[in-house]
Chains A and B, each alone.
Chain A
Amino acid sequence: MNAPDRYERFVVPEGTKKVSYERDTKIVNAGSFTIEREDHTIGNILRMQLHRDPNVLFAGYKLPHPLQYKILVRVHTANQSTPTQAYTQAINDLDKELENLKQAFEDEKIRYEERPKQGY
């Protein structure tokens, strides 16, 4: 009867920002991003991509509660970079990786269909 609507899990409510950034009050070049209506799918790839950046001193994410449909991504970088810069770079790199993967799949499918069928 009082169950929340199922779409609340993935539709960002009106008036809420998808991503918001909050600087750490004590540490320079540190802060956390709050991403609304996202989960481990995005959280984990972002975290792992941020780890590839040598300027990133710390990157972690958490899903605070299974019924709060948001994740927190915390980033701490060295002086040469900023959390926003590292975050944007991570997304760009992931996007390029996926673009590349898509092309790889298309090429591989063509190659697969031309490959002589091995009888078994």
Chain B
Amino acid sequence: MERAAGGVSYQRFPRVRIRELKDDYAKFELRDTDASMANALRRVMIAEVPTVAIDLVEIEVNSSVLNDEFIAHRLGLIPLTSAAAMAMRFSRDCDACDGDGSCEYCSVEFHLAARATDSDQTLEVTSNDLRSTDPKVCPVDQARAYQHALGGTEPFDTAAAADQRQHPLPCCPIMDIIAKKLGILIVKLRRGQELRLRAIARKGIGKDHAKWSPAATVTFMYEPEIRINEELMETLTLEEKRNLVESSPTKVFNIDPNTQQVVVEDAEAYTYDDEVIKKADAMGKPGLIEINAKEDSFIFTVETTGAITAYELIMNAITVLRQKLDAVRLQDDDADLGELGAHLVGG
């Protein structure tokens, strides 16, 4: 019955080229595969790569202006460092804690206690006030601040790190957060108001609730292939060429100042809007410019919330997709049943 293993392989060998890789951002080219694979990876990155997020909140005291569930919701949306999430258990199938979802294998406890005392200023309660019981899991900007304090550089962003050394006070927002110790605002307290709570963070996926999604944006586009009919282009006056170049809403084409030829400046700026092609048709020069999408070549941009790095997100997505494929394999008894069924019906 092991016929299936003898089949010929129709496997593909995709190629990858990384263009840019930062902590929470990646841009890469994926070639020699099809849109279904690119889209599966995108979908898995958004909805099925696990992270850790606050899921259960027990409020002890809340005299703030926001109600309990409002605060619980805001806590859930704070990105927590989730490098360990792949190895964690989902609390629903954790057998160490009888399903109450509060053991070290499937959850992390947080505490928050803040009270605005006699000062006249409002007290801003932020993610920096959350105290984690597990140093591996904490709000993302706390981890950044900690890393920064240690003088650690960002793992993959060597260019930015070098840049940081030259300019000790960079002006990007994340650095502002660290410098001013801002964190993510949860609630503001007036004099005398208090917030005290216990929260449990659990592993989850974006399909369950978007707070577990590690992806800020994941997009891919087909690589455009632009061909200019040079012979036909020569019949255009400089004015006409300018009009043609201007007709594209994004800056795809330009005119070479020396040769006065129309050249492709940035093929990837093309948004598949067909405007230049329509313009060429309107000028009575159909076929002047031809643009095709390469069906096996994709340009991905991946941005994460900071819960995991962009590289981790990609790698985890591949792992998760393989696990999913493994789960949909026919079990041995299925295969036998299929064959048996064949005999029954055929005989």
Binding site for B on A (CB under 8 A): 6-7, 9-11, 17-21, 23, 25, 31, 33, 35, 38, 40-42, 44-49, 52-53, 81-82, 84-102, 104-106, 108-109, 111-113, 117
Query: Does B21 touch A at the CB level, under 8 Å?
Result: yes
Query: Does B315 touch A at the CB level, under 8 Å?
Result: yes
Evaluate contact between B33 and A105: CB separation under 8 angstroms: no
Evaluate contact between B15 and A105: CB separation under 8 angstroms: no
Nearest Cβ in chain B — how far from A15, in angstroms?
15
Evaluate contact between B18 and A109: CB separation under 8 angstroms: yes
8 A-B residue contacts at CB 8 Å? A19-B328, A31-B338, A38-B324, A46-B328, A84-B339, A95-B326, A102-B315, A112-B21
Q: Interface stretch among B2-10, B169-177, B179-187, B273-281?
A: B2-10
Query: Does B294 touch A at the CB level, under 8 Å?
Result: no
- Classify chain B: how many residues form its interface, as a range: 35 or more
With A6-B208, A96-B9 as contacts: A84 and B4 at CB distance below 8 Å: yes
Evaluate contact between A105 and B209: CB separation under 8 angstroms: no
Nearest Cβ in chain B — how far from A21, in angstroms?
5
Evaluate contact between B334 and A19: CB separation under 8 angstroms: yes
The answer for the CA separation of A39 and B165 in the assembled complex, in Å, is 48
Nearest Cβ in chain B — how far from A3, in angstroms?
13
| A-side interface mostly | helix
Name the interface residues of B199-228: CB closer than 8 Å to any CB of A: 205, 207-209
Evaluate contact between B335 and A97: CB separation under 8 angstroms: no
Binding site for A on B (CB under 8 A): 3-4, 7, 9-18, 21, 28, 33-34, 36-37, 39-40, 43-44, 48, 92, 156, 158-159, 205, 207-209, 311, 314-315, 318-319, 321-322, 324-331, 334-335, 337-339, 341-342, 345
Nearest Cβ in chain B — how far from A27, in angstroms?
12
Evaluate contact between A112 and B322: CB separation under 8 angstroms: no
Of A31, A89, A106, the residue contacting B10 (CB under 8 A) is A89
Using Cβ atoms and an 8 Å threshold, which residues of chain A touch B208? Answer: 6-7, 9-10
Using Cβ atoms and an 8 Å threshold, which residues of chain A touch B338? Answer: 21, 23, 31, 82, 84
Nearest neighbor of A119 in chain B, beta-carbon distance:
B159
Nearest Cβ in chain B — how far from A51, in angstroms?
9
With A18-B328, A19-B328, A104-B14 as contacts: A41 and B92 at CB distance below 8 Å: no
Nearest Cβ in chain B — how far from A12, in angstroms?
9
The answer for the CA separation of A57 and B266 in the assembled complex, in Å, is 41
Using Cβ atoms and an 8 Å threshold, which residues of chain A touch B339? Answer: 84
The answer for the CA separation of A9 and B205 in the assembled complex, in Å, is 11
The answer for the CA separation of A91 and B9 in the assembled complex, in Å, is 11
Using Cβ atoms and an 8 Å threshold, which residues of chain A touch B4? Answer: 84-85, 88-89
Of A42, A52, A101, A117, the residue contacting B324 (CB under 8 A) is A42
With A93-B10, A105-B16, A109-B18 as contacts: A42 and B329 at CB distance below 8 Å: no
The answer for the CA separation of A113 and B16 in the assembled complex, in Å, is 14
Nearest neighbor of A11 in chain B, beta-carbon distance:
B92
Using Cβ atoms and an 8 Å threshold, which residues of chain B touch A7? Answer: 92, 208
The answer for the CA separation of A35 and B40 in the assembled complex, in Å, is 16
The answer for the CA separation of A6 and B208 in the assembled complex, in Å, is 6
Evaluate contact between B17 and A87: CB separation under 8 angstroms: no
Evaluate contact between B14 and A42: CB separation under 8 angstroms: no
Nearest Cβ in chain A — how far from B222, in angstroms?
15
Evaluate contact between B322 and A48: CB separation under 8 angstroms: no
Of A31, A87, A98, A100, the residue contacting B321 (CB under 8 A) is A98
Nearest Cβ in chain B — how far from A40, in angstroms?
7
Of A45, A82, A95, A117, the residue contacting B36 (CB under 8 A) is A45
With A19-B329, A105-B315 as contacts: A98 and B156 at CB distance below 8 Å: no
Nearest Cβ in chain B — how far from A93, in angstroms?
4
Evaluate contact between B325 and A19: CB separation under 8 angstroms: no
Nearest neighbor of B34 in chain A, beta-carbon distance:
A48
